[in-house]
A and B are shown apart, each in its own frame.
Chain A
Amino acid sequence: MINILVYIVGAIFILGFIYKTWIWGKSAVPLRIVGTPGPKTFPGVILRIMGEVFLFKSLFRGNKLLWLGGWIFHIAFLFIILRHLRYFFYPVPIWIIELQIVGIYAGYIILIPLVYLLLRRWVVDRNRYISTPMDYITLFLIIVIAFTGILMKEYIRVDLVDVKAFILGLLTLQPSIKPQSVLFLIHFLSVLLLIVYFPFSKLMHAGGIFFSPTRNQRDNAREIRHVNHWNNIIN
């Protein structure tokens, strides 16, 4: 049962992600609307986008504390995901083993920005105003994932051999029996929920940033004619 669920979720995620980016990609970009000062060259655009993706440069300009919270959250999440790759490989590549310690710490650290991100929506009146129920639910879901993960790692251990056999079974299309731990099931199902929600939600900011015309266009409107493909049907 859970095996089929995993495949369905995986399919929804991949197809949903592709569908969404495909829709963005095929919708027209009629005009040059790059935010200036902006890069004039393509390498400049890459640099600008990488600055946003890795350093959250615009957010840094906007709100230093939020930048810190957001950045730590994302970096910690990244290391946690990398650490989890150990359950997906046999044998486990050496670099994943080396990331084990960092990943474990990241699992603890991520709770700090998560709680901060949740609280600031509550405490600051304007943030409370702009928050929707799904903003809270999403954060709460990630907190549940992180919390159950830590519990399993440190306090209520699960049989990792079972877990690994289960995951590898899923990957090799030879599903084996699911681990019996309730904690694991909560952890695992929460992750599935997050993954299935991803392509339909604001979480798609992860892919969307690359498509943002104010960030990915060059500032060269006078020099190079930007062609709008429906320009000629408008008279």
Chain B
Amino acid sequence: MKEKIDAPILTGSITVPKIEENASRNQRCHHASEDHMVRLGFPGTKPVDWNKKALKRMRELLKRNRSLRLYLDICVRCGSCADKCHYFLGTGDPKNIPVARQELLRKVYKRYFTIEGKILGGLTNAEDLTEEVLDEWYTYFHQCSQCRRCSVFCPYGIDTAEISMAAREIMDSIGVGQKYCNEVLGKVYDIGNNLGMSGPALRNTLDFFEEDIKETTGVDVKFPLDVKGAEILLVSPSADFFASPHVDSLVGYAKVFHKAGISWTFSSYASEFANFGMFIGSYSIMKRVATRILDEARRLKVKRIVVGECGHAWRVGYSFWNTLIGPFDFVDTRYPVPQHICEFTLDLIKRGAIRLDKSANDEFTVTYHDSCNVARATRMGNKDGGQFEIPRALIREACNKFVEMPKNVNREKTFCCGGGGGLLTEELMDLRVKGTLPKAQALKNLMESRQVNLMVMICAVCKAHFTGVLPHYGIPMETVGGIHQLIGRAIVL
């Protein structure tokens, strides 16, 4: 069934809607099939005693994650987060208010795990875990992109992402999984990347890029694959291999390595930086997906691991890898693991190892979209706020005309593109379009007032999502680009 896409009209300013109950209630993503579930070690179907099993899983998670219990305990429902979620701003559905989303899990927590809820019951909003509640969980915990914007404004730093990850994990444990993420993870298990692209197919694609660059520039820029003993293992989101505008950044990476004269390689076994294990809240799956990269780095005996433009994966890499699969004592310890391609390239520019010709990008007036995971869950470089400054420094090196987004949608206050957190799936298109509203308003404003015609970003999900969604707002998909796309155009070969 094809849902009607109903894109709001852009006015250039962000307003808070009146609440409209159940406005996005029918935006529900497809369930994972039995095969997809079993492949990941989850039950294939929902057991008869699912209720008991869900509560058991919840009890385990409460012990394992302080954040979960604490954040369920201490929210005062002050409402500071109430007008901060892009899905609420876009849909007006009150269950997309961060605290209301948390409340879906909290009311069950109260009912079964707290004295307050057991004694005072409905006065505290405590509620039994029924089919109906489970259905709400499935709907609204898959309308959270885990972008952490609400957390920025919360007096206690309550992070709805932690809650929605836990809820998804509980649902997976009773056979109620989401198709998009779980299917993708199965492909990583079986083939090594989200696309399910085999080694030979990957080699073919890379050959094509080599020929293409040779044709347009006359330079032999190589895309090495599975080269043992290379200095650097480059792991990028697999979308970089085929999607547009992702490939343009991939070409940018290769040109940077070429000019820097450092030996590097892709891997066909670890051909995916993305790690959807985070989206579904599964520590063990996240670890297993990350381990592929560790194993490959050891096998290929590389000295450094550099990673491509990907937001959530940068969070997994920057914040979680060291815990999950560290310590990285077998690589060159002078470099951080992982090192972001932006850190890598800016360093080369500063040392004069590569040179850029800004005028190559003169046709663009560029703005930068801070991707949520990069902005609010990671850093780059050694300085505070490096996750903001390093990408911006690169953009300024690569073009003449750069315009900042307005403060309320920029840096740590950035809005999610609208497709993060495992929601980048067709059946949620209407929700995704609406979730893009705040950022689209800001972009539209810049396009009209400052003639911006390119918004660059360093996230594969953002790129794919915006390219699909912005046309619904009358903004051409060519407005979306990557930072290394700019670099690739400007680099003097």
Contacts and interface: CB of A to CB of B under 8 A. Distances in A.
B84 interface: yes
A200 interface: yes
A10 interface: no
A134 B124 contact: yes
Given A31-B319, A205-B76, A212 B377 contact: no
8 contacts: A28-B64, A28-B66, A33-B377, A35-B159, A36-B378, A36-B379, A205-B74, A222-B322
Interface stretch (A99-107, A125-133, A158-166): A125-133
Interface string B60-85: 00111111011101111111111110
A99 to B, nearest CB: 26
Given A208-B73, A209-B74, A219-B379, A127 B152 contact: no
A62 B62 contact: no
Contacts of A130: 77, 79, 82, 94, 97, 99-100, 103
Given A228-B323, A231-B324, A234-B283, A36 B412 contact: yes
Report the 8 A-B pairs with minimum CB-CB distance, sorted nearest first: A62-B153, A62-B80, A208-B74, A214-B157, A215-B157, A27-B66, A200-B116, A205-B74
Contacts of A23: 69
A173 B124 CA distance: 35
Contact of B75 (A31, A125, A202, A213): A202
B345 interface: no
A36 B376 contact: yes
Interface string B116-132: 10001011110000000
Contacts of B100: 129-130
A44 to B, nearest CB: 9
Interface string B157-196: 1110010000000000000000000000000000000000
B173 to A, nearest CB: 14
Nearest to A220: B379
B318 interface: yes
Interface string A136-149: 01000000000000
Contacts, number: 212
Nearest to A28: B64
Given A130-B97, A208-B73, A62 B116 contact: no
A30 B322 CA distance: 12
Contact of A221 (B82, B148, B153, B322): B322
Given A29-B66, A66-B80, A132 B125 contact: yes
Nearest to B387: A36
A61 B152 contact: yes
A70 B153 CA distance: 14
Contacts of B384: 37, 40
Contacts of A66: 78-80
Contact of B412 (A37, A132, A197): A37
A59 B114 contact: no
Contacts of A205: 74-76, 155-156
A204 B384 CA distance: 32
A24 B70 contact: yes
Contacts of B213: none
B348 interface: no
Contacts of A27: 62-66, 69-70
B151 interface: yes
Contacts of A35: 148, 151-152, 157, 159, 376-377, 412
B224 to A, nearest CB: 26
A62 B77 contact: no
A32 interface: yes
B319 A58 contact: no
Interface in B234-291: 283-284, 287-288
Given A27-B63, A36-B377, A126-B94, A58 B152 contact: yes
Nearest to B81: A62
B318 A28 contact: no
Contact of B65 (A28, A131, A132, A225): A28
A225 B327 contact: yes
A204 to B, nearest CB: 6
Nearest to A133: B123
A35 B67 CA distance: 13
B157 A204 contact: no
Contacts of A223: 336
A213 to B, nearest CB: 5
Contacts of A89: none
Nearest to A131: B77
Contacts of B336: 222-223
Interface string B224-240: 00000000000000000
Given A58-B154, A125-B18, A202 B319 contact: no
B162 A33 contact: yes
Nearest to B377: A36
A124 interface: yes
B19 A129 contact: yes
A211 interface: yes
B375 interface: yes
Nearest to A137: B123
Interface in A53-80: 56, 58-59, 61-63, 66, 70
Given A35-B152, A59-B78, 7 more contacts: A32-B319, A61-B413, A70-B78, A201-B124, A204-B74, A212-B74, A215-B157
A230 interface: yes
A31 B320 contact: yes
